Amino acid sequence: MREIAADIEATWQSRKHHTGQDVRTISDRDMAAIAEKHRQPVREVCIQCLKMGITPLRYLRNSPAISLDEQIILAESEVAVAGCGGLGGQVIVHLARLGIGRLLVFDPDAFDETNLNRQTLSSSDNLNVLKAEEAARQVAMINPAVEVSAHAIAITDPGQKPLFSKTNVVVDALDSAKDRLFLASLASDLGIPLIHGAVAGFEGRVLTVFPGDTGMEALYSSEKPDGPEPSSAENLLGTPALAPALIATFQAMAVLNILLGRGPSTGNRLLHLDLANASLNAFTL
Amino acid sequence: MRVELKVFASLAKYAAHPLLSADGVVELPSPVSVGQIADALNIPRKEIKLIFLNGIHAQIDTAVKDGDRVGFFPPIGGG
């Protein structure tokens, strides 16, 4: 690590920050060259730079909204995103640009043409490609200092718990009640906060679930005394791109708040957003 | 008594009921439960997944009083 620090020290460049201060910075290209020379992941070199008070150019405009010390916390964090579709794809892009050090991405499906209206990782030239693998490919292009583990599987088995042994936050970007409830119970068992998001039409909601909270049961439990579950709203209204992008942004912000110890610390607070009526309502579960 | 009602997502179509004013107020004889408000507006109870009374999670048989705010949600699961 001492040799890496010496190379960083010999490479950084001074630059005027937009706030007017001179700051020590380093380019992606220089971090990649140092990483290659010492056979280390770019993430490790990036963390070393941050610890030396040197800001990678790619994070310069994160500050001062995100401080250098907070950028280190993000680079040393791991977030699991379950689902790489409309919500998950956008969450993954946000987390990569924020500089979350490790991402676990899960989705058993491949892109098809019906995804193109909303799923930000999908395009005409990656149809039939596995979503999790495409997420890893795109993150590598967005931010090489992020390490991605792509899992083309659903999270349906308690035996998968060891995958999350280093995970700080889980993001629920799934699309079925059963899978969401299983993920929530898994996260609760592991003591990991979960960020739930769901959309229908031009509306959507987000909920931070801390271990032991029962909010997800209120949203998805099938224990209805008077008959079968009604049809879910997204099947009646469709899902244009806008609500997934909005809710994914709220989910990424919730991840940031948890990792950095900011924001509202109360659970069971459901935020419902309606783009068509430009309204936001908060409810207590 | 007057109750403020919000119907979300796929339940928004029921807001056109003549008992519900343009600003979302319904006038009903008291006492009344959450479920009776749904009945009065022809909102099928089986389409309601989640109920809030004054912003707090409630049940179909929870009592409602004058000035309360009620919110109805269908299941929402899109991702």
DSSP notation for chain B: -EEEEEE-GGGGGGGG-TTB-TTSEEE-PSSEEHHHHHHHTT--GGG--EEEETTEEE-TT-EE-TT-EEEEE----B-
pTM of the model: 0.96
In chain B, where the domains are located: 2-67
- Whether residue B66 is predicted with pLDDT greater than 60 in this model: the reply is yes
Alpha carbon of B44: minimum distance to chain A alpha carbons (Å): 10
What band does A268 get if pLDDT is binned at 50, 70 and 90? Answer: confident
pLDDT value at position A228? 54
Q: Which CATH architecture has domain A77-284?
A: 3-Layer(aba) Sandwich (3.40)
Is pLDDT above 70 for A227?
A: no
Query: Does residue A62 have a pLDDT over 90?
Result: yes
Residue A107 scores a pLDDT above 60: yes
Measured distance CA(A195)–CA(A187) in Å, rounded: 10
A237: nearest CB among B9, B46, B47: B9
Enumerate the residues of chain B whose CB falls inside 8 A of the CB of residue A175: 77-79
Contacts of A113 by beta carbon, 8 Å cutoff, 6+ apart: A127
Interface touch A175/B74, C-beta < 8 Å: no
- A175, A220, A284: residue with CB nearest B55: A284
Cβ–Cβ of A198/B78 closer than 8 Å? Answer: yes
Question: How deeply is A270 buried, as exposed, middle or buried, from its count of CB atoms within 10 A (0-12, 13-18, 19+)?
Answer: buried
What pLDDT does residue A229 have?
Answer: 62
Spatial distance between the Cα atoms of A255 and A195, rounded to a whole number of angstroms = 7
Q: Do B8 and A230 touch (CB under 8 A)?
A: no
Comparing alpha-carbon positions, the chain A residue that sits nearest to B6 is A281
Alpha-carbon distance values, A64 to A13, A17, A21, A26 (Å): 19, 10, 11, 17
Contacts of B59 in chain A (CB under 8 A): none
Chain A residue nearest residue B48, CA to CA: A230
SS3 state of residue A239 = coil
Residue A230's pLDDT band, with cuts at 50, 70 and 90, is low
Q: What CA–CA distance (Å, rounded) separates A279 from A71? A: 32
pLDDT of A116: 98
Do A40 and A1 contact (CB within 8 A), yes or no? Answer: no
Q: CA of B73: which chain A residue's CA is closest?
A: A233
Residue-wise burial string across B38-63, b where 16 or more C-beta atoms lie within 10 A, e elsewhere: bebbebebebbbbbbbeeebbebeee
Contact A175 B77 (CB under 8 A): yes
Query: Which pLDDT tens digit goes with each residue over B42-56?
Result: 999 999 999 999 999
Given this model, what pLDDT does residue A19 score? 87
Q: Is the backbone of residue A60 left (phi > 0), alpha (psi -120 to 50) or beta? A: alpha
Q: Does A199 sit within 8 Å of B78, measured CB to CB?
A: yes
Cα A199 from chain centroid?
17
Tens digits of per-residue pLDDT, A84-94? 999 999 999 99
Could you tell me the residue ranges of all domains in chain A? 2-71, 77-284
- Which of A217, A229, A232, A242 should we substitute to test contact with B (largest number of B Cβ atoms within 10 Å)? A232
Residues of B in contact with A282 (CB under 8 A): 55
Mean pLDDT of A255-282: 92
A274 contacts B79? CB cut-off 8 A: no
Q: Could you tell me if A73 and A96 are in contact, meaning their C-beta atoms sit under 8 angstroms apart?
A: no
pLDDT digits (tens, 9 = 90+) for A149-180: 999 999 999 999 999 999 999 999 999 999 99
Rounded to an integer, the average pLDDT of A248-265 is 93
How far apart are the C-alpha atoms of A6 and A139, rounded to whole Å?
A: 28
| Complex ipTM | 0.93
State whether A87 and B57 contact (CB < 8 Å).
Answer: no
Residue A226 predicted with pLDDT over 80: no
Q: Which pLDDT band, with edges at 50, 70 and 90, does A225 fall under?
A: very low
CB-based contact B56 A283, cutoff 8 Å: yes
The Cα of A284 is separated from the nearest Cα of chain B by a number of Å equal to 5
* C-alpha to C-alpha distance for A223 and A221, rounded to whole angstroms: 6
Whole-number Å distance between alpha carbons of A124 and A112: 9
Q: Which chain A residue shows the shortest CA-CA distance from B58?
A: A285
